[in-house]
A and B are shown apart, each in its own frame.
Chain A
Amino acid sequence: GDSVTQMEGPVTLSEEAFLTINCTYTATGYPSLFWYVQYPGEGLQLLLKATKADDKGSNKGFEATYRKETTSFHLEKGSVQVSDSAVYFCALKVYNQGGKLIFGQGTELSVKP
């Protein structure tokens, strides 16, 4: 079945360090791919998305490129801030599945000043 695998956390970085969170997927057909972020005590917020191969999603300095050949959608940021501390979820949506998202396990990021 369809699934998403993320690198395990927690990930601890110093401020201004480079961030990569790996995400790979298995899906029938051509899914849309997403990164969501969850701050403590809150719901999920969409960070970025890509709907087809080679698309690059970007937002707030975060980027991810839809790589069909490696079935990956790795999240990157060049210089993290303390305010980026949160849990990050990679997710996919198969076409015509409405509001059904399949999530990875989440990666907790902690950024130290």
Chain B
Amino acid sequence: KAGVTQTPRYLIKTRGQQVTLSCSPISGHRSVSWYQQTPGQGLQFLFEYFSETQRNKGNFPGRFSGRQFSNSRSEMNVSTLELGDSALYLCASSAGTEDEKLFFGSGTQLSVL
């Protein structure tokens, strides 16, 4: 069974640009969660999508948005990039029930110059 796939692996952007990251969950999983990982703030929850609906949201500005498609693939978008958005963005998939474990992808490393 293929794992969680995130593309691209690395991205370099400049301030003010926007970026879209993609996450393909494990086949059959309906929940996709996104996390931001930085050396200073650690791992922080961005949002979760379940069956194409946002189910939960973290404490990030509106520049961070996401969506989920009918095949459960998810994208997150960051508009008007700031230097502080440089981070490893991880997505995790699960079946979506209460005790299901999360499976993480290897992440997209975003550098904002």
Residues of A that sit less than 8 Å from B by CB: 32, 36, 41-46, 49, 51, 89, 95-106
Contacts and interface: CB of A to CB of B under 8 A. Distances in A.
A8 to B, nearest CB: 12
B89 to A, nearest CB: 11
A95 B97 CA distance: 11
A96 B102 contact: no
B98 A101 contact: no
Contact of A46 (B35, B48, B102): B102
Contact of A98 (B31, B44, B90): B31
Interface residues of B, number: 26
Nearest to A51: B99
B32 to A, nearest CB: 8
Nearest to A46: B101
29 contacts: A32-B99, A43-B4, A43-B90, A43-B92, A43-B104, A43-B105, A43-B107, A44-B43, A44-B92, A44-B104, A51-B99, A96-B98, A98-B56, A98-B96, A99-B32, A99-B33, A99-B48, A99-B55, A99-B92, A99-B96, A100-B45, A100-B56, A101-B33, A101-B35, A101-B45, A101-B102, A103-B42, A103-B43, A105-B42
A98 B105 contact: no
Interface string B7-31: 0000000000000000000000001
